[in-house]
Structures are given as structure tokens and as C-alpha cells.
Amino acid sequence: MLPRRAVSIASSACSLSRCRACQRRIPFRFFATQTKFPTIPASSDDVALVSLFDRPSPTFRRSPLSTTGLFGHPSLTYPDALISLADATLVRAQLLTDRILRARESRDELLKVVKNLDRLSDMLCGVIDLSELIRNAHPDPMWVRAADHAYDTLCEFMNVLNTHVGLYEVLKAVMTDPSIMSTLSSEAYKTALIFWLDFEKSAIDLPSAQRK
């Protein structure tokens, strides 16, 4: 999950639901919640991406005067580091999406679908919210341009997820399986229901021609 330290200021502006920044762009958005899930060991995907996420590629030279990153995040010491953060988040989000889409191959993975959807939402919305704050509040136009790029990149991906038939079908498999639903806590059940209703609002269960 995206480290909270990177978005501690941005997240305070959206306590009821995540990704308020995307409401104007994405009508049916994911909600990240404070649902408590059992701790699950990091997957191989998570381990492989630690260095990519925590150490964005130093394509652009940092200022020698920059010692503290934006909001205390050590990587955000120059504008293009925000783009690197968004790119790394996009890679992680795609890998997690692929994992969710394969969940029906394993009952153990089906049991983790709601948690992983929540992780996916939080992962994307944390950086989207951070970018929204920077592009509206930072005085440096270079930071603003970098934030615009990060925001647009991740919102575009979020928009795809919000109408992703494959994700809906996996969630449907979970929601229609009493043996899985009985394992969810009341909070996890509410989280699953929020995702379900968001998909349903977009008429995702209809043929694509009718949805258009």
C-alpha cells in the first residue's frame, strides 16, 4: 500500500472517501476505506517493486540544495521525481490489477479480492490526491507541470478500472459465493458493497453497446 507519509497532508482533505480530486473527471470512482484486514505477507510482485517505488529512477539531476523531500518524502526532492513516483505506482497498480483478474484460479486469491481492490484504490488515490494538492498549491510551475502529468496519468488508469468488466466479474464471483462472503468482517463487507455499487452504477453488467 502507498506509504501514508507521502500523502499525509493530501489525504486529510478527503476523509470520507478517497480520490475526491477525480470526481470531476471520473464519475464512478473507487473508495479506499479504513477497513482492517489481516496482515498478509508481501507477494513476489510487491517485493520486486520495492526498489522501483522507493527509489525512482534518477533520470533528472537533483538540486544540490535539496535535502528534504516534499511532505517529508525523501524521494520528492525535485519535480520529475513526482512523475517517477506516478510511473512506479502505475506499474504496481497494473500488477495488482492482473493479480485480481487471476483470482478465480485460486480460492485463496478469491478470499483476498476485497482487500486487494481496497489496496488498488488506496495505491492510486494516494498519489492522485497528492498530485492534486501540488498542482493547486505549489508556487513552482515545474512542480505544477509534473503534478499535472502525474494526475492525468493515474486518473486515466483509474477511469479504465472503474469500468473494467474483468474486475467486476471477479468481484461478482466473490459477492455471489456465500462461503466467501461469510468470511468477511462487517467492514470488509461494506467495502465490497461500495465497489459493487460503483460498478453497477456504470451499468457494467450490460452489453458494451447498451452501456454506450
Q: In terms of Cα–Cα distance, which of 210, 125, 112, 127 is closest to 170? A: 112
Q: How far apart are CA 77 and CA 53, in angstroms?
A: 15
Residues 98-131 pLDDT 10s: 999 999 999 999 999 999 999 999 999 999 999 9
Q: How far apart are CA 30 and CA 163, in angstroms?
A: 11
The rounded mean pLDDT for the chain is 77
Q: Are 98 and 116 in contact (CB under 8 A)?
A: no
pTM above 0.75, yes or no: no
Residues 12-56 pLDDT 10s: 333 223 454 454 443 334 444 444 445 556 665 555 555 544 554
Query: Residues of the chain with pLDDT > 90: what percent?
Result: 56
